[in-house]
Chains A and B, each alone.
Chain A
Amino acid sequence: MRLRILSCLAIVTLATALLSAQNWPRFRGTENGRIADDPALPETWSETENVRWKTDIPGVGWSSPVVWGDHIFLTATIGAGSEPQPIKGLYDPGDENGRTRATGDHRWMIYDVDFQTGKIRWEHELARGVPKVQRHIKNTFASETAVTDGERVYAYFGSIGLLTALDLNGRRVWMQELGAYDGRQAFGTAASPALHGDHVIVVHDNATESFMAAYDKRTGKEIWRVKRDETENWATPFIWENELRTEIVTSGLRKVRSYDLSGKQLWELSGMTVNVTPTPFASHGLVFINSGYPGQSPRPVYAIRPGASGDISLKPDQTSNEFVVWYQPLLGTYNTSSLVYGDIYYTLLDRGFLLAHDVKTGKQVYGRQRISAEAAGFTSSPWAYNGKIFLLSEDGDTFIVAAGPEYKLLGKNSLNEMSLATPAVVRGSVLIRTQSKLYRIAKPQK
C-alpha cells in the first residue's frame, strides 16, 4: 500500500514538474526553486546579454513574478510622496529600528506583463490611499507574491488587508477586506497567499488579531478562520502534500504549526528565533523549516517527516525525535528560503555564504563558503537547473555555483540594480525583477 502511495506521489510530482516548465504559479514555483534541466535555459546574462526584453515596472514591490501561459503577474505600490529608499544589506537601522510610516497616497497595483513582448498588457489599481501600517525601510507595501491557477490571479496586500481575485483579463472577480494591522515591530508584511484546491489560504500574523483563513477562490467567501498566537511573521504558508495527507505548514516565532485543510491544528513545534521569514518547503519526503535572524540564537533548521501530531518540539539536548529527522541549531537563514537540489540541502546565508548539508541526515557536506567579498547581501531565494545553483544578490548580481559536494564558483551575471525578489523560471526563460524593471533572460531564438 505504502509503495502504491509513493508511486502515485512520484507520478504527481513528475506531472507537476512538467507542468512547472510551462507555468510558475506561486512564490518559488511548484518545485521550490528546483527547475527541470533544460539546455535552452540561460546561464550567462547581463543588462544586454541574453535579454529578450526588459520592462520598467511602475512603483515598487519586492513580490516575485508569477506566470501562467503568456501572463506574468506582478504587484507594486506607487507612492505620491518621497519615501526613504531601501538600503542594501543587513544593518542596524538606528533608534526607529527601521520603521517608517508613509504619509502620502499610494496606489496598490497589479500588472499583467506579456511574456512574449514584455509589454504591460493591463494594469489594475486595486486600492488607493495612505497605507494603514508602517513598514521597515527595506520592505515594501507589495512584498507578497500573487498566486494563480490559470483562471484567476489572487493577490494579497497585508499593508491594507486586501485580498482579491482578478481574471486573466484584469477584471476584478471578488475582493475581501481582511483588516490591516501592524506587527510587533511594525515592519510591514510579506507572507504570500497559498492556493490549494478551491481555497486561497492567507496567514496574517500581527500584534492585534493574528489569523489564518481560507477563502473560496471563486467567490472570495471566507470558508474558515483560525486565530493564531503570534505577533508577527513573514513566512508564506506551505501546502505540504505528503505521502499521508495534505497539510498547511506555517512557520512562526512562537510555534511552527501545521493544520489540516479545514484549519484544525495537527502538530506544533517550538524553538524558532525572531523575525521568521523563510518559507517552509518539502523535498525527499520531508518538510524543512527554518528561521535565522543573525542577532539571536539558536537559528534552527528542522527536517520533519509526515504524520506528526501534537507537540513535536525537541527537548533540551535532543537533536531529533520521532518526527524531527534532523536539526541544525545555527543553519537558519534570515530572509532567504533554502534549496534542495539533488540530495543536498543548500543554505544561502543573507550575509553571503553558501553551505551544503545532506538532505536526509543534515550532516555537513561543506561548511561556510564566502560567495564574494563584494556582495552586499542576499534576500532573494536560490534556484537551480542544469547542475548549477543560482544566487541573486541584492546588488543584482547572480552568482553561479556548481551543484554537488564541492563548492565551486562558476561565474557572475550582473544587472546592476538592487534585487530582492525571487525570480521565476519558465519555458527557457528566467524572469528577474529588479527594483525598477522586469527582465526576461533567455538565449536568442534560433
Chain B
Amino acid sequence: MADYQLIIVGGGPTGLTAGLYAARARLKTVLLEKGVPGGQVMNTDWIDNYPGFPEGISGFDLAEKMAAQAARFDLETRSGVEVVSMDLTGAEKKIVMADGTSLTSQAVIVATGARPNKLNVPGEVELAGKGVSYCATCDGPFYRDQEIAVVGGGNTAIQEAVYLTRFASKVTVIHRRDELRATKIVQEQAFANDKIEFAWNSQVSSIEGSQGVESVRLLHKDGEESTLPVHGVFILIGTIPNNEMLPNGQFEMADGFIKTDLEMRTSLPGVMAAGDIINKNVRQVVNGAGEGAVAAMSAEHYLAGQS
C-alpha cells in the first residue's frame, strides 16, 4: 500500500492551498517543501492584488496565514525536504528525496513553482549577496542613501524599484526595451517618483567590484557602452521553472513548464500540476492558489475512482 493518498511537492501559495483542500477532504496527504513553506511570495514586500485584504498584506504574512490555515485542518507538512526525483508512471507514484529515502502515494500534485531568473553575466555569481540581489524586501534596507540599479521591466521589477526608493537615494531601472511591461498603475507610480531614472534599451554586460558591487557595465542598443556606478543591483527579470526533479518524458511539457488541462491534470493519470510550474501566462498568487484548489479536487476525484 502507498504511504499516502496524495503527495504535494512544493509549499508556496499553490501547494498550501492544495494542502488546505486536501486536508479538508480528509485525504491522507503530505506536503513536501525544500526550504520553509511560503514560496516566492515571501520575497514580496507588499501584496495589493490578493483579494480579501483591502489594505494589502505583506508577502510574509500572507504566506504565514496560508500555512496556518492548512495546519488548522491538520495538513502534514515536512519542511527542509528536497525532492530530487519522481517516478509517476505507475498506479503507485514514487517521490525520492535528497537523503535517499522515498515516499509513495496514489496521486501527486506538482507545485514546485519557479525561482528568479539570473542574468548570467560575469560578476553575478561572485558578488551574489555582496550587492547582487534577487529580493528587494530582504536587502533593500542595506542601501540607505546609496545609488542602486534594478534590472527588468515587468511588474516585480517596477514595483520593487518603487519600494527601493524608500532607502536608496537613486534607483536606475535598466531595461532592454523602450517601454515597460508592468501594469499601468505600477508604471504610473514609477514615472511619478523623482528618485527613479531609466536606462532604456540597455542590457547589463557585467557586474564589477572587488569586495562588493561597485558598478555595472551597460551595453546600449546603439552599440555604445557605459558604466553605471552603483552599490547594489537587483535582478528582477522573471522566473524559471523548478523542474530539475521532474521525470523526463513522463508527461507533456512546454518550454520547461508542465502542460495541464483546465482541471490541472497532466497527461499522466493521478498527477496534477499547478502554480508557477505550469505552462500559462499569468503568474500571480491569486491564480496559483486557485489552481491549487482545483488540483486538490481533481486528486480527490481521481482517488475516488481508484477505490
Pairing of A with B: no
